[in-house]
Amino acid sequence: MILEVSSVTKAFGGLVAINDLDLAINEGEVVGLIGPNGSGKTTSFNLISGFIKPDRGEIIFNGKDITGFKPHRICQYGIARTFQLTKPFAGLTALQNVMIGMMYGEGKIRSVAKAKMECEKILEFVGLARRGQAPVTSFGTVDRKKLEIARALATRPRLLLLDEMMSGLTATEMEEAVRLVKAIGDSGITIIVVEHVMKAILDISSRLIVLNYGEKIAEGEPREVVRNEQVIEAYLGE
């Protein structure tokens, strides 16, 4: 098991966003995390990646207790994430964006020249070959998403958290994105995806976990889970 979230609770004011949540993720899995709006998917990502601290419970990654660690430390331990609304370093070039991941993440390559070479490869892998010198402000939605993934990959993660990467993409772009996620999974990186687009998530995931009101209501083989009555009810009730 690469990630173990046990009995984690997080409340904002009086509102319980995550209630006594248990997650167990195995190495090499691609897990889909789904649920209606406000069910706590992004909050779970924020908890795992250290952007918010749980009120109770613990998060074990790769055998280490990382509960309450700051995000940069968690990143250096090997968990990378993307943001639902992409957060590129907009004033820098695409290559510089990725180089920051390379030089500060788990790999921590300190030589600028070496990092540059490695980052060119990553940009090519995500489909941004020869766009390295372009300013990020010239990028459209799909390129921003690719860049966000490239930057996350550059930190050499063992676990990658992808937050709503399909939103705002056209059908063709989505196919491309699905191929990209599969390729990342094939390279051995464990992935958790939060996604609204059901077709994409069924294509990608080997297992689904369903949240509702901050609690886990179902998990298992994707096509079985989506037939689960409780799950259907949660979605219809939205």
Partner 1 sequence: MIHWKKGALSAGIVLILVLIPLFVQRSDIITYLFLTLLYIILAQSWNILGGFTGQQNLGHAAFFGVGALTARYIWLHYGFPLPLAILGGGLATAAFALIIGFPAFRLRGVYFIIGTLVMAEILRMVFDNVFPRADVMPMKLLATYNLAPRYYVGLLFAVLSVVAVYWVNRSRIGLGMMSIREDEDAAEATGVNTLKYKLLAFAISTFMAGLAGGVFAYYTAATKVGDLFAPVWTFDAVIIVFVGGVGTIVGPIVGAVFFVLLKQLLSLYLPGGMHVLVFGVLFIVVVLYLPGGLIGLMAKLRKKPA
Which residues contact partner 1 (rule: CB under 8 A)?
A: 49-51, 70-73, 75-76, 80-81, 83, 87-92, 96, 99-101, 103-106, 108, 110, 112, 151-152, 155
Instruction: Report, in Å, the least distance between residue 115 CB and partner 1.
Output: 8
Sheet with 215-220, strands from edge to edge, namely 79-81, 159-163, 190-194, 30-34, 207-212, 215-220
Nearer to partner 1, 97 or 212 (CB): 97
Nearer to partner 1, 135 or 220 (CB): 135
Nearer to partner 1, 190 or 212 (CB): 190
Nearer to partner 1, 136 or 201 (CB): 136
Alpha-carbon distances of 84 from 28, 72, 176, 217, 232, rounded to whole Å: 23, 18, 18, 23, 24
Instruction: Report, in Å, the least distance between residue 114 CB and partner 1.
Output: 11
Q: Which amino acid is at 63?
A: G
Instruction: Report, in Å, the least distance between residue 206 CB and partner 1.
Output: 25
Total H helices, total E strands in the chain: 9, 10
| Tokens matching residue 177 | 């994105």
Count CA atoms closer than 13 A to 78's CA, side-chain side.
Answer: 13
Q: Which residues pair with 64 in a beta bridge?
A: 61
Q: Which residues pair with 30 in a beta bridge?
A: 191
Instruction: Report, in Å, the least distance between residue 93 CB and partner 1.
Output: 11
Instruction: Report, in Å, the least distance between residue 36 CB and partner 1.
Output: 25
Nearer to partner 1, 34 or 119 (CB): 119
